[in-house]
């Protein structure tokens, strides 16, 4: 059996392949295909501090399972609230009052501070017509940005399709890229929510590139799936080196490594590092599972919201000193709200209208959209939608990504004033 | 690779976890029909296997401190080793596909012993009637915990299980009304896990014996009645057929013509073994659309590679990588016993991302470090790339991949690493 030197040799290959810059120099030279990156990437991290032309960044946070918005932004002065929620009503003396008869869940201490500083926008009554109570169908609607069921691309994915092939434009944390970040031809890059896979640089040996060469000069008849494997591998070789370099240069914010920050904190730590390194990425996706609280909601949701609170506010704190961080906007959403009336399991079943949250140093805090009524419900006993979710997307596309939203959402939607 | 051998390799990849060269030699001698019959014959018999060593029973674990993380990690390794050593590959593949059909996660269930018990149900009842299987899975502790059955009350049912039973397990989304969800949820009131015995029971005082209107049926429907009703609907025949076809041939919706063709046969007996036969003997199963129709699921790719190189969990442990398999499968996005949610995993492009590619590289490098590569090294240098294709039972290499492999053919571990991450091996 041969001596296991291969890993080291592959790594040496990386250094010898004109990628010396990846090890010692700027981020820009880490990329072997200059055409793929905007010029901003060629600027070393320190130079970004002086740049005034920093573009805003979207940090999209998906909460899977359907977070219970009524127990997140609690209408605690409405008598119907306690009547409907009974044992799982949040106690009025524990909520964090934000005025208008509303209080934030007691876990959201950091977000309350953001509210007080005018940096937290809460969009009320968000949803779409004819609510779908399937997690997966509703999440598909949210991620596709349409209620048409023949659309398989995501709303950010279509922006990727329209803006070239640079794999650094959008990054999703975790192995699987969500529909929101997948277009017909382009998909966001994905990176592991940990620096360890990048602590050794990925290989730069010419053999690795040629194994993925199918894409550029296909011989024979490679299948579409083989071409996708090749595309993913090609992008991986490029992206991993940039990411490895960034993670090496910028330390992970300690607050996001705490157990309270959890898995969401791990993901946002990497995003904070990449923003800190001045990557030109315009959209990030992070996510957290477990919000499907049909039973034992009080305990589960309190833990999950604490994780959200610690990680999101820790993240905003960590990037505050960076011009790109100053312009980063965090958007939190989930596939649906939950039934107004609690069930007997100490939980809630699938519902409709919900809150979405927008946070950041450049955000105009406050309440947006109409307050949903707890007594005038839809036929299934759910909150009635008053704000279409695509108004949030239109605002993000126009104010963050700087494009006309209409081509990406199929029609015009009124924008909201949070940016 | 000759056409007949290539088609047999496709059969072994889809109806199992790939074939070793010796297995393909034997299959070639047997011929397509006899090989297929042999794989299908593996669906007969009790399907029992030895449990993982050191797994604490649920009742014991529940009295003490649970099963613990180590037992969960061991359980995952145990299952992968069933895939790498099985003599009934189609049956073992079916166990994985049923995990995909009834996605249940350790993350919430919390007991390795219960995940194991569900796995045993897939093994023993999987090839039989789908209604019987669905009932057993529904009343098994892992599912009772996973979808909160038994946490509700007679007059205030929890909709979680009733909804997912229809949407994910038996019928597919959009085939029932919200009223059907509410009515069937009533039928499952009183269903519960008895934590003392670890067994299913029905608390009669908490069960709603009232009249229910459900999918056109009226009466005092029990939970068992609901399972019978949903599994016998025509939409269920299409849903179940489309799911198995999608994992074995290429992704289809329940509206696909091939599903319309196969579903009525399945509907006559709901027998999963018979449905597998219908799929594997269908002309489209060997058509180009199927031959090029799937990216390997990470578990298939990892288990198939371990099988090809004769690796076990101990192979990684020896190298000081005790949790390695769990780590790399997590990086690849598919941890056995831990799907992300009740929707399970996706297919094809779902498995392809720059993060997954990096994890593939990690696994390929690790395999090339821990495996015995003498089979690849023995032939003359010029024939090593071909030897690797032979070992992996793939048709051959594209010119581009062959050029890359030949570039490193003097250094066998590099040759193997590149072959394992090649498009030809990861897809198809």
ipTM of the complex: 0.94
> Judging by beta carbons within 10 Å of its beta carbon (0-12, 13-18, 19+), is residue A417 exposed, middle or buried?
exposed
Residues of A with CB below 8 A from B341's CB? Answer: 64-65, 135, 289, 292
Bridge-based pairing of strands A366-368 and A120-127 is parallel
| Average pLDDT score over residue span B51-77 | 91
Mean pLDDT, chain B, rounded, equals 95
The pLDDT score that the predictor gives to residue B400 is 86
A172: tokens are 């999703």
| Average pLDDT score over residue span B246-256 | 98
Q: What DSSP character marks residue A220?
A: S
Residues of A with CB below 8 A from B332's CB? Answer: 175
- Least trusted range by pLDDT, from A204-213, B214-223, B239-248: A204-213
Distance from CA of B400 to the nearest CA of A (A): 6
A-B contacts at Cβ under 8 angstroms: 225
The pLDDT score that the predictor gives to residue A213 is 73
Report whether A87 contacts A346 (CB < 8 A): yes
Rounded to 5 degrees, φ, ψ at B250 are -165, 155
Cα–Cα distance between B417 and B422 in angstroms, integer? Answer: 9
Question: The pTM is what?
Answer: 0.91
How many Cβ atoms from other residues are within 10 Å of residue A246's Cβ? 23
Report whether A329 contacts A127 (CB < 8 A): no
The pLDDT score that the predictor gives to residue A203 is 57
Q: pLDDT by residue (tens digit) across B284-303?
A: 999 999 999 999 999 999 99
Report whether A1 contacts B372 (CB < 8 A): yes
What 3 state SS string does B238-252 have? Answer: HHHHHHHHHHHCCCC
Q: pLDDT by residue (tens digit) across B178-234?
A: 999 999 999 999 999 999 999 999 999 999 999 999 999 999 999 999 999 999 999
Best of B177, B333, B347, B354 to mutate (most A CBs within 10 Å, chain A) = B354
Q: At CA A8, angle to CA A6 and CA A14, rounded to 5?
A: 105
Cβ-defined contact of A294 to B148 (cutoff 8 Å): yes
Any B CB within 8 A of A182 CB: yes
Is the pLDDT confidence value at A310 over 90? yes
The pLDDT score that the predictor gives to residue B1 is 83
Q: Among residues B114, B84, B118, B86, which one has the least CA distance to residue B101?
A: B118
The pLDDT score that the predictor gives to residue A22 is 28
Bridge-based pairing of strands A387-388 and A120-127 is parallel
Mean pLDDT, chain A, rounded, equals 86
What DSSP line would sit under B176-221, residue for residue?
A: S-HHHHHHHHHHTTTEEEETTTTEEEE-GGGS--S-EEETTEEES-
Q: pLDDT by residue (tens digit) across A62-120?
A: 999 999 999 999 999 999 999 999 999 999 999 999 999 999 999 999 999 999 999 99
Bridge-based pairing of strands A120-127 and A189-191 is unpaired
Residues of B with CB below 8 A from A205's CB? Answer: 408, 414
Q: Which of A192, A226, A295 sits opposite B424 (nearest CB)?
A: A226
The residue to which tokens 């053999």 are assigned: A207
Cα–Cα distance between B338 and B144 in angstroms, integer? Answer: 16
The pLDDT score that the predictor gives to residue A207 is 65
Cβ-defined contact of A294 to B147 (cutoff 8 Å): yes
Q: Which of A229, A235, A345 sits opposite B423 (nearest CB)?
A: A229
The pLDDT score that the predictor gives to residue A16 is 31
| Average pLDDT score over residue span A258-277 | 96
Q: Which of A137, A203, A239 sits opposite B354 (nearest CB)?
A: A239
The pLDDT score that the predictor gives to residue A206 is 61
| Average pLDDT score over residue span B127-150 | 96
The residue to which tokens 């579903």 are assigned: B263
Cβ-defined contact of A190 to B354 (cutoff 8 Å): yes
| Average pLDDT score over residue span A198-206 | 64
The residue to which tokens 């490895």 are assigned: A244
The pLDDT score that the predictor gives to residue B63 is 84
Is the pLDDT confidence value at A29 over 60? no
Distance from CA of A241 to the nearest CA of B (A): 11
Q: pLDDT by residue (tens digit) across B369-420?
A: 999 999 999 999 999 999 999 999 999 998 888 988 998 899 999 999 999 9
B317: tokens are 């442990």
Is the pLDDT confidence value at B31 over 90? yes
The pLDDT score that the predictor gives to residue B153 is 82
The pLDDT score that the predictor gives to residue A18 is 28
Residues of B with CB below 8 A from A174's CB? Answer: 333, 355
The pLDDT score that the predictor gives to residue B66 is 83
Going by pLDDT thresholds of 50, 70 and 90, the confidence category of residue A215 is: low
Cβ-defined contact of A1 to B372 (cutoff 8 Å): yes
Distance from CA of A171 to the nearest CA of B (A): 10
- Least trusted range by pLDDT, from A267-276, A340-349, B8-17, B219-228: A340-349
User: Judged by CB atoms within 8 Å, which residues 238-267 of A form the interface with B?
Assistant: 239-240
Q: pLDDT by residue (tens digit) across A117-169?
A: 999 999 999 999 999 999 999 999 999 999 997 899 999 999 999 998 899 99
Cβ-defined contact of A176 to B346 (cutoff 8 Å): yes
User: Judged by CB atoms within 8 Å, which residues 368-407 of B form the interface with A?
Assistant: 368-369, 372-374, 377, 398-401, 403-405, 407
Is the pLDDT confidence value at B86 over 90? yes
Cβ-defined contact of B369 to A136 (cutoff 8 Å): no
Report whether A400 contacts A58 (CB < 8 A): yes
Cα–Cα distance between B159 and B172 in angstroms, integer? Answer: 16
The pLDDT score that the predictor gives to residue A52 is 57
Residues of A with CB below 8 A from B417's CB? Answer: 6, 10
Radius of gyration of chain A (CA): 22
The pLDDT score that the predictor gives to residue B151 is 83
Cα–Cα distance between B312 and B403 in angstroms, integer? Answer: 31
A159: tokens are 């922006």
How many Cβ atoms from other residues are within 10 Å of residue B56's Cβ? 18
| Average pLDDT score over residue span A273-284 | 96
The pLDDT score that the predictor gives to residue A204 is 59
């Amino acid at each position: 059996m041969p001596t296991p030197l291969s890993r080291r040799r592959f790594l040496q290959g990386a250094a010898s392949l004109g990628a010396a810059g990846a090890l010692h120099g700027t981020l820009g030279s880490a990329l072997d295909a200059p055409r793929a990156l905007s010029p901003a990437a060629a600027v070393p991290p320190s130079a970004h501090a002086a740049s005034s032309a920093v573009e805003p960044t979207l940090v999209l946070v998906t909460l899977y399972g359907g977070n219970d918005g009524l127990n997140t932004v609690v209408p605690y002065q409405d008598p119907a609230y306690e009547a409907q929620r009974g044992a799982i009503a949040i106690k009025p003396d524990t909520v964090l009052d934000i005025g208008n008869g509303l209080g934030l869940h007691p876990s959201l201490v950091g977000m309350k501070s953001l509210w007080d500083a005018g940096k937290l926008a809460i969009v009320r009554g968000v949803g779409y017509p004819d609510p779908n109570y399937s997690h997966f169908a509703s999440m598909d609607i949210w991620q596709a940005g349409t209620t048409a069921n023949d659309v398989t691309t995501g709303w950010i994915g279509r922006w990727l399709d329209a803006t070239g092939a640079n794999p650094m434009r959008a990054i999703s944390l975790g192995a699987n890229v969500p529909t929101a970040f997948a277009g017909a031809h382009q998909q966001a890059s994905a990176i592991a929510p940990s620096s360890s896979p990048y602590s050794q640089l990925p290989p730069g040996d010419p053999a690795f590139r040629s194994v993925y060469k199918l894409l550029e000069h296909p011989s024979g008849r490679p299948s579409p799936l083989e071409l996708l494997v090749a595309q993913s591998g090609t992008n991986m070789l490029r992206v991993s080196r940039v990411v490895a370099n960034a993670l090496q240069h910028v330390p992970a914010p300690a607050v996001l490594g705490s157990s309270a920050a959890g898995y969401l904190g791990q993901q946002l730590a990497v995003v904070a590092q990449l923003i800190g390194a001045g990557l030109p990425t315009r959209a990030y996706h992070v996510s957290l599972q477990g919000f499907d609280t049909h039973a034992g909601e009080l305990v589960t949701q309190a833990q999950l919201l604490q994780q959200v609170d610690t990680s999101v506010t820790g993240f905003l704190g960590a990037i505050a000193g960076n011009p790109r961080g100053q312009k980063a906007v965090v958007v939190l959403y989930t596939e649906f709200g939950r039934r107004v009336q609690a069930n007997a399991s100490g939980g809630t079943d699938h519902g409709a209208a919900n809150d979405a949250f927008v946070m950041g140093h450049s955000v105009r805090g406050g309440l947006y959209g109409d307050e949903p009524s707890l007594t005038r419900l839809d036929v299934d006993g759910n909150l009635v939608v008053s704000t279409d979710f695509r108004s949030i997307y239109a605002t993000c596309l126009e104010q963050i990504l700087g494009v006309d939203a209409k081509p990406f959402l199929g029609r015009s939607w009124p924008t909201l004033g949070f940016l | 690779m000759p056409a007949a051998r290539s088609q047999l390799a496709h059969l072994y990849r889809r109806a199992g976890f790939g074939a070793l060269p010796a297995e393909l030699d034997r299959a070639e001698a047997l011929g397509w029909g006899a090989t297929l019959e042999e794989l299908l014959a593996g669906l007969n018999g009790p399907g029992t296997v030895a449990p993982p060593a050191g797994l604490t029973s649920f009742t014991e674990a529940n009295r003490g401190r649970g099963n613990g993380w180590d037992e969960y990690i061991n359980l995952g390794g145990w299952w992968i080793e069933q895939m790498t050593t099985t003599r009934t590959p189609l049956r073992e593949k079916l166990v994985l596909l049923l995990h995909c059909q009834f996605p249940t996660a350790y993350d919430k269930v919390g007991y390795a012993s219960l995940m194991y018990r569900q796995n045993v149900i897939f093994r023993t009842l999987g090839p039989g009637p789908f209604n019987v299987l669905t009932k057993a899975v529904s009343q098994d502790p892992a599912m009772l915990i996973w979808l909160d059955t038994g946490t509700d009350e007679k007059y205030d049912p929890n909709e979680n299980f009733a909804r997912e039973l229809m949407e994910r397990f038996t019928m597919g989304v959009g085939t029932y009304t919200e009223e059907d969800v509410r009515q069937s949820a009533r039928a499952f009131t009183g269903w519960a896990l008895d934590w003392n015995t670890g067994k299913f029971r029905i608390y009669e005082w908490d069960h709603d014996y009232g009249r229910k209107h459900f999918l056109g049926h009226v009466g005092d429907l029990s939970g068992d009645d609901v399972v019978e009703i949903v599994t016998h609907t025509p939409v269920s025949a299409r849903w179940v057929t489309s799911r198995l076809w999608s994992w074995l041939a290429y992704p289809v919706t329940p509206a696909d013509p091939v599903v319309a063709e196969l579903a009525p046969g399945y509907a006559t007996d709901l027998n999963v073994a018979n449905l597998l036969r219908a799929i594997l003997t269908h002309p489209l199963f060997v058509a180009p659309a199927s031959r090029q129709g799937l990216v390997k699921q990470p578990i298939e790719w990892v288990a198939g590679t371990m099988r090809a190189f004769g690796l076990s969990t101990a192979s990684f442990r020896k190298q000081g990588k005790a949790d390695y398999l769990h780590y790399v499968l997590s990086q690849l996005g598919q941890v056995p016993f831990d799907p992300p949610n009740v929707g399970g995993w996706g297919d094809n492009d779902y498995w392809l991302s720059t993060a997954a590619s990096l994890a593939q590289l990690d696994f390929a490098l690790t395999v090339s470090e821990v495996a015995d590569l003498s089979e690849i090294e023995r032939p003359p240098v010029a024939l090593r790339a071909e030897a690797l294709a032979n070992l992996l039972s793939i048709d051959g290499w594209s010119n581009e991949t062959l050029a890359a492999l030949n570039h490193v053919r003097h250094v066998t571990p590099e040759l193997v690493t590149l072959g394992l991450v090649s498009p030809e091996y990861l897809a198809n």
